[in-house]
Amino acid sequence: MAGKKVLIVESPTKARTLSGYLGKEIEVYSSKGHVRDLPERELGVDIGNGFSPKWVVRDRKLIANLRKAVRDAALVYLATDPDREGEAIAFDLLELLSDGNRERFARVLFHEITPEAVRQALKEPGEVDLRKVEAQRARRILDRLVGYQVSPLLSLVLAGRRFEGLSAGRVQSVALRFICDRELEIQDFVPEPYWEVEARFPTEPPFVAKLEGKLTDEAQVKRLEEELSRAGFVVEEVVEEEVKRRPPPPFITSTLQQAAASELSFSPRRTMQIAQQLYEGVDVAGKPLGLITYMRTDSVRVADSAIEEARALVRDRFGKEFLSPRPRKFKNKRRAQDAHEAIRPTQVALDPDQVAPYLTPEQRKLYALIWRRFVATQMADGIWRRRKVKIRAGNWVFRASASWRVFPGFTRVLQVEKLADEEADLPEGLASGMELPAPELAFLEKKTEPPGRYTEAGLVRKLEREGIGRPSTYAQIVSVIQERGYVKRENGSLRPTLLGHLVTDFLRNYFPETVREDFTAKMEEDLDRIQEGQADRLQVLSSFYRWFSQRLSQVEGEIKEGKKPFRVLTDVSCPKCGAPMEVRVWKGGLYLGCSRYPECRTTRNLPPDVKYRYRPERVELAEGLAEAEDAPAAPCPKCGTPMQLKHGRYGRFLACPKCGHTMPVPTGVTCPKCGQGELVERYSPRRGTFYACNRYPDCRFTLPGKPVETCPICKKGVLYEDPRHGRRCSNPECPTRA
């Protein structure tokens, strides 16, 4: 068929949406992601030949079908995602499908999936951006060099043999170091006492003023208490001011992930999955429609037409007074890639209520978050009034303030945190020189607190601030360090495991550049420079490998000489020879081995959730090990011998020393779902310790915390120790959870 046209995208979902737009006019196919990659079981990079990569086809049947589809096409549109990875896929498709005839292939970019945007993009086809492809190739080769050459060394050093499971990544290693360093700060933090002083004045209404600064000396507190008991309190100054708050810029990838985590409790990975669905298209009133623009972007730029749409909506729905005086535009950060707009609704007239019936609950929440944020950008500032009072008592100064909202502005659609003094109140008649009645003084003793652990959103914020990774990689970085067992979520925060500390310290000792944020950020800048045509791929790779190969040779040389380049001793003594035992790794699990190996081959199980205090020179875990081994005694159901507590790769279990029978650690609590089984202790590398019915797979009931007893209130659920909320009932309808 002479005039046949074919369009190829990455995602099958996007292909279905576009087929609905284009009908029989253009045939639409999906590449299902990358079509070529480096081989799985080998390095795939010829280092001596200019770092030449060996690309292999991932799905030959798929490529054969695509070749058949484009064979007699007059025009083939390569419409993969508009980022580096998408550009590389377009290039691979061009090489694999063109058969030397590249003239009939055209590159098109869809920044939003709407009928109008798609047809406009098809009218403006271009060529594959080879600079962007070069940057992607350099990134892929760098990641392969680090991953495939450091990871085997990790297993050799930490386990004494090669196995899959341990890995080091060019970017993930820095993220892991951030989390480990923060944990060491928390572990070594020594709280210091300080005092804050409040004066509660019995006026109408009563109000509280706070002493400027804080006191750190108890003797000073006593002297101050005596001085203030004799001092008069006089208003020295009353000031009123206007406080304006501007709306934040529209979402970029990192800020969307952070907002979705704090407001919706979505992980970065889940946020990107849902955003991808909204971008690729959902059925709205029987028609496929992409509801948001491309979701991998670090640009806050917005098209003028979209700004006008938002301003028209604000004017019509909220009134002129809620419209910003002029179109509001935002500046990008340095080195932001401006290829895509910010994340916004493709049609701002489609508000969350209109599309809600067609979306899943998660899609509805995320779309509403994006819609509100974008509409707010074109709304007027919120305005508050603040009254501030300065009060003098001898040589000491107290301050009080109160704020109240005068005009909501953009906060009509976007919820913002209240000002710190918005709940406070001050008497109307306060004036300079006024003597105040004697207050009630409160000396509040407090202690300094350690820094908080990173949340997933906080880690994304840190990566972005340090220039590490790109919008397309944030979610993957956060996920992979958890999947590897280096980090686990605990009460909504990220806490490193003992294995995570080991990996970080090994890299810190032998490959310090891989865990340095400045070096990793510089590598990201080099990739950007390749994309901008200011650097050469070979030059960047050669510069990197010059120092990297020296580090590899050093570790490999020590291993060949029989040395142990890296070891972590503990405060646990070997039960046979008394030497300190060291932490060793096997297939992602940890155990203890005698440091005098091979002279002494004693080993000891190490519980996955053992409490420890990490020191690079020695790990303190004797106390936590003793606590973990305090297990419930139970007779063997087969021979009656008292069973012993053991620790394996999948957590604690009971084993009979006589007949060898094993069983999970019981809790003595009946499963509330089936009423027949017993809840027992289980472990998985991803979830950590959890509790499940022993009748699995017939009953799949699980709990995230240790069960205590059948709930005495509802009689239907089980009281358990929830890691986030403390003791609660498993029954969501229990009155205790109201």
Of 299, 281, 298, 301, the residue nearest 290 (C-alpha): 281
Domain 664-737 CATH assignment equals 3.30.65: yes
Q: What is the CA radius of gyration of the chain?
A: 31
Spatial separation of the C-alpha atoms in residues 597 and 569, rounded to whole Å: 13
DSSP code string of 491-519: TTEEEE-HHHHHHHHHHHHH-GGGG-HHH
Spatial separation of the C-alpha atoms in residues 493 and 454, rounded to whole Å: 6
- Classify domain 5-128 at the CATH topology level: Rossmann fold (3.40.50)
Q: What is the per-residue pLDDT for 723?
A: 63
DSSP-based three-state secondary structure for 677: coil
According to DSSP, the residues that pair with 288 across neighbouring strands are 283
Q: Do strands 233-245 and 382-393 pair parallel, antiparallel, or not at all (unpaired)?
A: antiparallel
Range list for CATH 1.10.460.10 in the chain: 140-188+453-560
> Which residues fall within 8 angstroms of residue 642, CB to CB, at 6 or more apart?
633, 634, 635, 636
- Provide block-wise average pLDDT over 10 residues at a time, the chain (738 residues): 83 90 90 92 93 94 94 93 92 91 92 90 94 95 91 81 71 93 94 95 94 92 92 95 96 94 91 94 88 91 93 96 94 68 94 94 96 97 96 95 96 93 91 94 94 94 89 88 86 90 91 89 91 93 93 88 84 92 80 89 79 87 74 75 74 83 90 92 78 92 90 89 75 80
Structure tokens at 97: 């499908």
Q: Do strands 45-46 and 726-729 pair parallel, antiparallel, or not at all (unpaired)?
A: unpaired
Amino acid found at 642: P
CA distances from 557 to 496, 505, 552, 560 (A): 30, 19, 8, 5
DSSP code string of 306-371: HHHHHHHHHHHHH-GGGB-SS----PPPTT--TTS--B-BS-TTS-HHHHGGGS-HHHHHHHHHHH
pTM of the entire structure? 0.81
According to DSSP, the residues that pair with 238 across neighbouring strands are 389
Residue with tokens 């489609």: 350
DSSP code string of 431-459: -TTPEEPPPEEEEEEEE--PPPPPPHHHH
Amino acid found at 737: R
Spatial separation of the C-alpha atoms in residues 701 and 601, rounded to whole Å: 41
- Classify domain 193-246+382-447 at the CATH topology level: Topoisomerase I; domain 3 (2.70.20)
For 376, other C-beta atoms within 10 Å of its C-beta total 26
CA-based torsion, 666, 672, 676, 682: positive or negative: negative
Segments of 671-738 assigned E as strands: 678-684, 688-693, 702-703, 707-710, 718-722, 726-729
Helices H / strands E in the chain, number of each:
18, 34
DSSP code string of 594-617: ETTTTT---EEE--TT---B--SS
Give the right CATH number for 140-188+453-560 from 3.40.50.150, 1.20.1440.230, 1.10.460.10, 3.30.470.20: 1.10.460.10
Q: CATH number of the domain at 253-376, please?
A: 1.10.290.10
Range list for CATH 2.70.20.10 in the chain: 193-246+382-447
Would you put residue 238 in left (φ > 0), alpha (ψ -120 to 50) or beta?
beta
**Cα end-to-end span (Å), the chain:** 66
Of 152, 184, 150, 161, the residue nearest 593 (C-alpha): 161
Q: What is the per-residue pLDDT for 648?
A: 66
CA distances from 617 to 486, 555, 566, 610 (A): 19, 19, 10, 19
Spatial separation of the C-alpha atoms in residues 540 and 448, rounded to whole Å: 46
Encode 275-311: b = buried (16+ Cβ within 10 Å), e = exposed.
bbbbbbbbebeeebbbbbbbbbbbbbbbeeebbebbb
**Residue 91 phi, psi dihedral angles, 5° rounding:** -65, -45
Q: Do strands 75-78 and 5-9 pair parallel, antiparallel, or not at all (unpaired)?
A: parallel
Contact 81, 108 (CB under 8 A): no
Contact 296, 274 (CB under 8 A): no
Contact 175, 79 (CB under 8 A): no
Range list for CATH 1.10.290.10 in the chain: 253-376
DSSP H helices, 611-728, are 622-628
User: What burial class does residue 569 get, using C-beta atoms within 10 Å of its C-beta: 0-12 exposed, 13-18 middle, 19+ buried?
Assistant: middle
Angle between helices 498-510 and 537-560 (to 10 degrees): 110
The strands making up 651-655's β-sheet, listed across from edge to edge, are: 644-648, 651-655, 662-663
CA distances from 360 to 257, 282, 287, 413 (A): 19, 10, 16, 22
Contact 710, 689 (CB under 8 A): no
Cis peptide before 471 (omega within 30 of 0): no
DSSP-based three-state secondary structure for 420: coil
Of 624, 628, 581, 588, the residue nearest 602 (C-alpha): 581
* Active site members: 294
Angle at 424 between CA 420 and CA 425, to 5 degrees: 150
Spatial separation of the C-alpha atoms in residues 641 and 480, rounded to whole Å: 43
Contact 629, 641 (CB under 8 A): no
Residue with tokens 């932001």: 336
Structure tokens at 167: 């890995």
> Which residues fall within 8 angstroms of residue 484, CB to CB, at 6 or more apart?
165, 166, 167, 588
Of 177, 132, 268, the residue nearest 520 (C-alpha): 177
Rounded (to 5) percent helix, strand, coil in the chain: 35, 25, 40
DSSP H helices, 265-303, are 268-280
Amino acid found at 150: V
Q: What is the per-residue pLDDT for 565?
A: 79
